[in-house]
Amino acid sequence: MQSALDHTVAFASSGSFLVQPSTGLTIWTIVVFLLSMAILARWVFPLIRRALDRRKEVIEDSIDAAERTRRDADRLLTEYQERLTDARRQAEDIVQRARQAAEVHARGAQAEAHVRREQLMEQTRREIEAETRRAIEEIRSEVADLTVMATEKVTRMALTEEDQRRLVEEAVRELDFTELSVGGEG
Amino acid sequence: MSFVQNMSTRAKIGWGFLIAWLGGTIVFAIAYGITSHKAASIVSGQFSPIDEFRLDTWFKIGPIAINKGVLFILLAAVLTVGIMFWVARQMQIRRPNRVQVAVEWFYDFTRQMTSENMDDRLARKYFPLVATLFVFILVTNLIGYIPLPLETSNTFNLFGVHVPSFQIYAADTNVAFPLILAAMVFLLFNYEGVRYHGPIGYVKSLIPGGVGRGILPLIVVIEILSVFLRLLSLTIRLWANLLAGHLLIAFMGGELGVLVGLPFISWFLLPLGVLIFVFEATLIAGLQAFIFAILTAIYIGDSVHGHN
């Protein structure tokens, strides 16, 4: 007990054990350290590196995928916009064409109606003309008959019927009925 | 007491701490006086604050002693490998959780550290070393802030069982731990240098360009010395930082009061001890591990490409 105390006092006063490396600790330290390093280098660090690399890859892939998706979306959007513009243009086209067709149709109908009216009027005019002519003929022959009768009454001359008629007709032909015709027409 | 009710919860807690702190100091000063009452073991010199860093041999396997430091190394190794392995497995199947994000950050950070200081071949070759140094030292440092019942030279009685005192111990506080790791790095960067330049070429590569003939011998000596100083600086930086940190925590956490025999000093310094503990555990532990790892990368890269 006394010797242990002396031992302690001797060390405490010098403190030399602090700077005197403990042999046991030295050997244990290097052995344990090298062993730890071997284990870490062999089994642990590669695992960590792999995990980090993989995570980096995953992140890069995700970024790539996102980029790709965005590009696809952009492309789709442009496509849809183009298609929409196209559709709008087509619709406008169709409307335009329909309007044109309607116009053409309307114009055609108008023209046809016009033609038809013209035809009807022409026909009417021709019928009137024919009637007029017939009426004139009738008047003419009536006048001739009346004249013959009148002449007969006045002259009582023995002119044959044939002669009289010829004479009257000659006279009548010299008469101008155009004025009558124009008046009838107006 | 309406002003107390009007205070926010945070203010109440703050004032409570302040009053407990100052009041406790006064209570201790009154109860134990402001004259020194040193414990007998301190007066006789039996108790020394650095004794907690002594490595008592628990038992031996052949010539190799098992002690507290060895236990911490083993614990650190198991935790390091276990956590890394678990996270690596998790990363294969799950979405990242916070631990995985931290490990990923660590991995990328270390990869950057190696690739910025070495060429591709060396970076690939030494990535496991740099990464393992980083994480291994970090875990060793961190478990050094967990109080564990391992102070076998100082036991307390718990229901008749002599339980070793709780203490925060770090394997880094024994110079053996940083020294052997630094020696390994030292051997590796010299090996790479000699392999790349040849023995003569390596020494030449250490000498900066444009040195006059007259002072050349001096420069050679200085440069070779500086190579060896790397071994020392790597060792001492880690060792001294951790040892000083642990000593400071112990002193501020009550030991100073015990040493001078004034209990109120222990109480007075306790908040400072807590602050230093947090500072050490959150910043120094990671920083020292990082510095050791990045210096390893720099030294190895340097030995091949020269530092000119």
Q: DSSP assignment of chain B, as one string? A: -HHHHHS-HHHHHHHHHHHHHHHHHHHHHHHH-SS----HHHHTT---GGGGG-----EEETTEEE-HHHHHHHHHHHHHHHHHHHHHHHHHHS---HHHHHHHHHHHHHHHHHHHHS-HHHHHHHHHHHHHHHHHHHHHHHHTTS-EEEEEEEEEEETTEEEEEEE---GGGSTHHHHHHHHHHHHHHHHHHHHHH-HHHHHHHHSPTT--TTTHHHHHHHHHHHHHHHHHHHHHHHHHHHHHHHHHHHIIIIIHHHHHT-HHHHHHHHHHHHHHHHHIIIIIHHHHHHHHHHHHHHHHHHHHH---
Task: Kindly tell me if the per-residue pLDDT of A181 is higher than 70.
Answer: no
| Cβ-defined contact of A11 to B54 (cutoff 8 Å) | yes
Mean pLDDT of B149-169: 74
Please provide the average confidence, as pLDDT, over all residues in chain A: 82
Q: Specify if A86 maps to a domain.
A: yes
- pLDDT at position A2, please? 45
Tell me: the pLDDT tens digits for B77-125? Answer: 999 999 888 888 888 776 667 777 888 888 889 999 999 988 888 899 9
Q: Say what the pLDDT of residue B97 is.
A: 75
Going by C-beta distance under 8 Å and a sequence separation of 6 or more, which residues neighbour residue B65?
A: A22, A23, A24, A25, B55, B57, B58, B59
CB–CB contact A36 B129 (8 Å): no
- Higher per-residue pLDDT: B158 or A79: A79
Calculate the average pLDDT of chain B: 84
A5 within some domain: no
Closest to B45 (Cβ–Cβ): which among A13, A15, A48? A13
Does residue A30 lie within any of the structural domains? yes
pLDDT at A158: 63
pLDDT tens column, B244-270:
998 899 888 888 888 887 888 888 888
Number of domains in chain A: 1
Confidence band for A62, pLDDT divided at 50, 70 and 90: very high
Residue at A1 is within a domain: no
A176 domain-assigned: yes
Q: What is the mean pLDDT of residues B36-41?
A: 74
Between B44 and A131, residue with greater pLDDT: A131
Say if residue A156's pLDDT is above 70: no
Give pLDDT, residue A15: 58
CB spacing of A18 vs B88 below 8 angstroms: no
B174·A32 Cβ contact <8 A = no
Q: State the average pLDDT over residues B139-146.
A: 90
Chain B residue numbers touching A45 (CB-CB < 8 A)? 88, 107, 127-128, 131
| Residue A4 is assigned to a structural domain of this protein | no
Q: Range with the lowest mean pLDDT among A86-90, A169-173, B20-24?
A: A169-173
User: What pLDDT does residue A182 have?
Assistant: 53
Average pLDDT over residues A91-114: 93
Of A9, A29, A39, the CB nearest to B180: A29
Q: Is A99 inside a domain boundary? A: yes
First CA to last CA distance, chain A:
169
Range from A14-18, A158-162, B63-67, B215-219 that averages highest in pLDDT: B215-219
pLDDT at A178: 66
In a domain, A117, yes or no: yes
- Does residue A4 surpass a pLDDT of 70? no
pLDDT band at A82 (very low <50, low <70, confident <90, very high): very high
Among the ranges given (A137-151, A166-180, B110-124), the one the predictor scored with the smallest mean pLDDT: A166-180
When pLDDT is averaged across residues A100-120 and rounded to a whole number, the result is: 92
> Which residue in chain A is spatially nearest to B183 when comparing CA positions?
A30
The range of the structural domain enclosing residue A95 comes to 15-185
**pLDDT confidence tier of residue B308, bands split at 50, 70 and 90:** very low
